[in-house]
Amino acid sequence: MAGRKVWAFAAVVLLLAGCGGGGGGGGGRLSKAEYQRKMQAEAQRLTSALQSANLATATSLKDFAAKIGSVKADIQKAADAVDALNPPEDADADTQRIADTLHRFAAIVGQIEDAAAKGNLASVRRFVAQLQNEGRAAQPAVQDLKQKGYDVGQFSG
């Protein structure tokens, strides 16, 4: 079934898309170790939530809509958590790009949820393609962090 392939692809895109955090929050900047620990924990929490949603097992568009709805909330929580970090100065811009990407991911996942609930497979496919593009757009920030010696966990794809 073509729809099943789209759902599996959406799950893979969500799991592998390199995204991560922003430079908000008050107080002092996090140390490199604190920052890495928080980013890794957030990435692991998000990865676990995405895996437990088991999107690839959806048997219909309505089932897929229900499963992806919980994912949207998890992505938004991750985006907010990363956005609230006060990373080391050299990680600030990359972290913000990652947080912004996560916020866009949450919005696109909401569009996927709505399209799936309406049974609109063509729109689901279009939004999944947008999700894939967002994942690619975030990769330079993740790679830059990696080149600077940061280990941000699963956000690195």
One digit per residue, the tens of pLDDT, for the chain of length 157 reads 455 555 555 555 555 444 444 444 456 899 999 999 999 998 898 888 888 888 889 999 999 999 998 889 899 999 999 999 999 999 999 999 999 999 999 999 999 999 999 999 999 999 999 988 888 888 899 899 999 999 988 765 5
Q: What's the CA gap between 87 and 20, in Å, rounded? A: 12
Amino acid occupying residue 106: A
Specify the pTM: 0.80
Task: For each of the domains in the chain, give its residue range(s) and CATH number, in order of start.
Answer: 2-17+31-156 (1.20.120)
Q: Which of 50, 41, 113, 47 is nearest to 81 (CA)?
A: 41
69: part of which helix (H) or strand (E)?
Answer: helix 61-83
For residue 107, CA distances in Å to 59, 72, 99 come to 23, 8, 13
